[in-house]
Amino acid sequence: MSRALSSPNVAPAQAAARPALAVNNVEVIYDHVILVLKGVSLEVAEGGIVALLGANGAGKTTTLKAISNLLGAERGEVTKGSIEFRGERVDRLTPNDLVRRGVCQVMEGRHCFAHLTVEENLLTGAFTRRDSRADIAGSLEKVYHYFPRLKQRRASQAGYTSGGEQQMTAIGRALMARPSMILLDEPSMGLAPQIVDEIFGIVGDLNGRERVSFLLAEQNTMVALRYAQYGYILENGRVVMDGAASELADNEDVKEFYLGLSTAGRRSFRDVKHYRRRKRWLA
């Protein structure tokens, strides 16, 4: 099944357009019995921002953790499908290997090291790097350039900084690994709208200037679609819709269901006529 996808004899034109990250029909089971992802497929282009949308419990976090190989610590397991980063299978790697290859996750709820200072938090992000102190100091300055607030707070214990500052610390910490792709899980959670804008603005900057790709899991559909080029909507462990961000934002059903722009009660996408599943044929 998935072997066909990774076969070397792809046409040159396709190879050029090969996405940085390809998730193919991934199934995830927790505790050996709880089936949570039921064949999720998605792609992130090199240098792109892709939004992974869906309600609470849809499986966004599970998808990101399947990619970053953080499921093990949660007794979860990828039982089917494959994950490729730059054409290489990565679904059996350790998180450490994956960070070295340039994929770093920023977890939902920030997960800063509460008793470490902001600067120490940032420096832990450079753990996998083998380059010189000067290079790491350079990266630190760069992070401070993007997040000037962190520079002011560099000596504070991260646990005592504000939610927005913690989110910035978590993103900055990931940047210190010099990733080419960041898996960003619900950065807007619990933050005031203007802080959310500030953070998304910086994400846009990082994408534009540093060429970092983002896979962005969000419940805040509106904001995510403003910054992403492409989006997937996840429901109950399946991708139920995908498309260019502008299309999704204009789609009546998305508006109705996720943006709350309709007076109709909340319905499932299953009831909506545009419902389709992508890559069914792969299963």
Ligand X SMILES: Nc1ncnc2c1ncn2[C@@H]1O[C@H](COP(=O)(O)OP(=O)(O)O)[C@@H](O)[C@H]1O
Contact residues: Mg ion, CB under 5 A: 60-61, 108
Q: 176 — phi, psi (to 5°)?
A: -60, -20
- Which one of 2, 24, 62, 180 is in contact with ligand X (CB under 6 A)? 62
Stretch that binds ligand X, among 54-62, 134-142, 151-159, 193-201 (CB under 6 A): 54-62
184 binds another protein, rule: CB under 8 A: no
Is residue 148 classed as helix, strand or coil in its secondary structure? helix
CA distances from 267 to 78, 272, 280 (A): 29, 8, 23
The residue (of 106 and 140) whose beta carbon lies closer to another protein is: 106
As a whole number of angstroms, the distance between CA 197 and CA 28 comes to 33
The residue (of 126 and 241) whose beta carbon lies closer to another protein is: 126
Residue 178 CB, shortest distance to ligand X, in Å, is: 26
Residue 117 CB, shortest distance to Mg ion, in Å, is: 28
Which residue has 């709820």 as its token pair? 109
Are 128 and 168 spatial neighbours (Cβ–Cβ below 8 Å)? no
Tell me the per-residue interface mask from 128 to 157 with another protein, x by CB under 8 A, - otherwise.
Answer: x----------------------------x
74 binds ligand X, rule: CB under 6 A: yes
Is residue 198 classed as helix, strand or coil in its secondary structure? helix
- Which one of 38, 80, 111, 277 is in contact with another protein (CB under 8 A)? 111
Stretch that binds another protein, among 22-30, 42-50, 92-100, 210-218 (CB under 8 A): 92-100
Residue 136 CB, shortest distance to ligand X, in Å, is: 32
User: What's the distance, CA 111 to chain centroid?
Assistant: 15
- Which one of 177, 216, 228, 234 is in contact with another protein (CB under 8 A)? 177
What secondary structure letter does DSSP report for 243? E
Total number of residues shown for the chain: 283
- Which one of 52, 70, 150, 224 is in contact with another protein (CB under 8 A)? 70
Helix 133-146 and helix 163-175, axial crossing angle in degrees, nearest 10: 140
Residue 271 CB, shortest distance to another protein, in Å, is: 36
Query: Which of 274, 252, 248, 275 is closest to 264 using CA atoms?
Result: 252
